[in-house]
Amino acid sequence: MRTQDYIDLEKRYNAHNYAPLDVVLERGQGVWVWDVEGNRYIDFLSAYSALNQGHAHPRILAAMVEQAQKLPLTSRAFRNSQLPLLAKELCELSGYPMMLPMNSGAEAIETALKAARKWGYRVKGVPEGAAEIITCAGNFHGRTITIVGFSTVHAYRDGFGPFTPGFVTVPFGDASALEAAITPRTVAFLIEPIQGEGGIVFPPSNYLRDVRDICTRHNVLMVADEIQTGLGRTGQFFACDWEQVHPDVVVLGKALSGGFYPVSAVLAEREVLEVFGPGDHGSTFGGNPLAAAVARESLSVLVDEGMIENARLQGAHLLGRLKRIESDHVAEVRGRGLLVGVELKPEAGHARRFCELLKDEGVLCKDTQGTVLRFAPPLVITRDEIDWAVERIEKVLLMPGLGDSHATTQ
């Protein structure tokens, strides 16, 4: 079968909830992937940061195979020999005393929301049913009914109401607006340190420190969604580490499994996660031995192979090279570590067109919000591989007359 054959099958039998680039991948190694016709591409998306450790990392693969041959699943009705070790290792690496494992990032966000509400009732003393959680405009925390209900992006909400009450929205990066929105009923503030799907948007300097101070003074939980930004993506273990900020709750997913298996986790202070008792929350697959073994090795290779430092060094090189491209299409280049956004001018047209041209040049990336090219390669990337990619990015950004109006979804 050739590329178009696969595309036709997907269009016929699969729900059309994505608009992927027309490349059909079948193999990957490190930062490279190959399509069904043998063409090679450099991956500058990393499955939205799920592949920080690169495609098919041999150590993670070996750990997965070994555990799969012994015991993939027990459910949480019984204990297994891998979950306690993952809990210990992840807590020691992160500096948090407790964790709760789940599968997808959205599940972990829902878990954090439930924990925050129950903490509000059991610890803070908010009247039952009155808890409020503050979120930011431009956020992206997942796709569940509750989560899209507090999104400010129309496309994520359209046709899915009615929504879960109890959420308040403030502008991202505005500490004064956050403080003004807090009431005696406020139990938590949920925030991405950098808005990824929102367009690689950074808050002002020291904003996270201000948020930490405000939450502490008002007895409000600071909940950081580090699903995309955590585990080394920005050149620190957590993006919050850039401002030496310790949230009360951190949500992880994606790279926690190195791209092999859905694994997520909520890390928190004891008084937060200890509100859960048996039967309060759960998941058939969350914390299963296969997931735990994969996550343990994913964390090990991240540290052992210096990927976090590499993200910091190579990210600075990538950002510097992109900023030196003098393109009439580009309004701004911004980033931290290996999370970089290229904001296009309105007259450049939809960013999807640039992604299509980059695909033809051998670089796979993703547009977001219609105006931003998101570059987030695996953290194993080398300087030579960055230079190879930037040569092709520069070629596309210097092309004249690219204005177009393609539309896409995540």
58-304 carries CATH number 3.40.1350.10: no
The Cβ of residue 145 has, within 10 Å, a number of other Cβ atoms equal to 13
Tokens of 95: 């500096």
Amino acid at 60: I
Sign of CA dihedral 286, 288, 291, 296: positive
Tokens of 97: 């005393």
Q: Can you give the pTM of this predicted structure? A: 0.96
Is 140 an annotated catalytic residue? yes
Is 202 an annotated catalytic residue? no
Is 285 an annotated catalytic residue? no
> pLDDT of the chain along its 410 residues, tens only?
999 999 999 999 999 999 999 999 999 999 999 999 999 999 999 999 999 999 999 999 999 999 999 999 999 999 999 999 999 999 999 999 999 999 999 999 999 999 999 999 999 999 999 999 999 999 999 999 999 999 999 999 999 999 999 999 999 999 999 999 999 999 999 999 999 999 999 999 999 999 999 999 999 999 999 999 999 999 999 999 999 999 999 999 999 999 999 999 999 999 999 999 999 999 999 999 999 999 999 999 999 999 999 999 999 999 999 999 999 999 999 999 999 999 999 999 999 999 999 999 999 999 999 999 999 999 999 999 999 999 999 999 999 877 654 555 45
Q: How far apart are CA 357 and CA 363, in angstroms?
A: 9
3-class DSSP state of 339:
strand
Report domain 3-56+306-397's class.
Answer: alpha beta
3-class DSSP state of 2:
coil
Q: Please provide residue 320's backbone torsions phi and psi, each rounded to the nearest 5 degrees.
A: -65, -45
Place of tokens 């099958």: 9
Q: How far apart are CA 127 and CA 142, in angstroms?
A: 28
DSSP for 77-129, written as a single string: TS--SSHHHHHHHHHHHHT-SEEEEESSHHHHHHHHHHHHHHHIIIII-PPTT
Q: Of the listed 43, 44, 140, 285, which one is catalytic? A: 140
Q: How far apart are CA 337 and CA 288, in angstroms?
A: 32
Where does the chain hold its CATH 3.40.640.10 domain(s)? 58-304
Q: Please provide residue 170's backbone torsions phi and psi, each rounded to the nearest 5 degrees.
A: -130, 160
Q: Of the listed 35, 44, 254, 354, which one is catalytic? A: 254
Q: How far is CA 1 from CA 8, 37, 132, 279, 364, in A?
A: 11, 9, 53, 48, 22
Q: How far apart are CA 311 and CA 88, in angstroms?
A: 25
Place of tokens 């015991």: 71
Where does the chain hold its CATH 3.90.1150.10 domain(s)? 3-56+306-397
Q: Of the listed 43, 225, 241, 367, which one is catalytic? A: 225
